[in-house]
Amino acid sequence: MRPVDTIARLLRPRDEIGAARVLAVALVLAMVATVGWEVVGWQQGRPGSDAGSVASSLVALAIVGLLAAVLVRVPHRVPTLAWPVVAVVQPLATAATVVAAHDASAGAQFGLVYAVVFAASQFGGVFAWSVTALAVSADAWIVFSVLDPGPAASDLLVVACALPMITLVLQLTNAHQDRLRARLDELAGADSLTGLTVRRRLVEAGTRALAAGRPTGLLVVDVDRFKELNDTHGHPVGDLVLVQIADLLRASAGDDDLAARLGGDELALLVRGDHDAVRRRALDLRDAVRGHHWRRPGLAPTVSVGWVTAHPGWGFGELYEAADRALYEAKAHGRDRVVGAPGTVGGAGHP
């Protein structure tokens, strides 16, 4: 990966919609706190806080609220670099404002939390911890500019412990969510009976391979007389046959191939290779099913296999259609056969 791509990945939020919501809430709450700070200051007679400053902060709150609403509605319109820039600018702007107001109260220092929460919840570890370090440095600027060294060191110690704790908790939560999402994605992509890839994943993988121009072929496999097998031996035995044939299909696959269940008793194998590799996979599977020891009297299932290699310009739809036609030919000519699609090199049927 190029350095510029690595930097872009580090500075990109995990989820733009989630980032927009968190940032919108943070901005609105920060402005609400500012309004409250001005109101309390006016009530207490603090210099600089009066009816005018309260009115100004209310106008600012209304503007920020409007921007937050727009942000939530169209997060995809936000330039990628705007997200990390906000996280970096916020603690610096907070520190500059607080130092200018000569106010190092707990409420003033708490303004640094917004950037830390935003960065830790929406970005990866490197950037999140960088913003946390920046916020701690901003707090050092605040307290040592306003307070005496003793109280300043005490306040900084509290903030230097609290902000990393917030970052740690949010980063651990993110990691747990990522693992859970990956597991759910894995389960959603696997057939519950055979453990093979589901049809949707096969289509996606085949589409990518064809778009990349890689030599690609497809096997479509059907268990012969599967309904009769279920009626004679029962559905549990039918399920067992499917599972074991799926295992044989997986065993016959190459390292770069992808085995899938299309539905019912129909399986498929996406092969990354030329016509010789595709044909070899088909024959290996047919022979493996023939030679498998089923350990049940009267049980000797067979499979019909249709195979094809992609022509230039084909999409997955054309690839599957051609393999399915070849499968139909295999079943029409007696089953337990391997047939290549018409026009495929080496595509004659194999009894």
Catalytic residues: 265
Nearest to 266 by CA among 316, 310, 305: 305
What are the Cα distances from residue 258, in Å, to 1, 104, 209, 236, 350?
A: 25, 61, 11, 26, 23
What are the Cα distances from residue 168, in Å, to 9, 126, 131, 308?
A: 20, 12, 13, 53
Range 183-187 contact pairs with CB under 8 angstroms and sequence separation of 24 or more: none
Q: Exposed/middle/buried for 316, CB within 10 Å: 0-12, 13-18, 19+?
A: buried
* Spatial distance between the Cα atoms of 286 and 350, rounded to a whole number of angstroms: 10
Mode of pairing for the β-strands spanning 266-272 and 216-223: antiparallel
Buried b (16+ CB within 10 A) or exposed e, 141-176: bbbbebeeeeebeebbeebbebbbebbeebbeebee
Crossing angle for the helix pair 82-101 and 113-122, to the nearest 10 degrees: 170
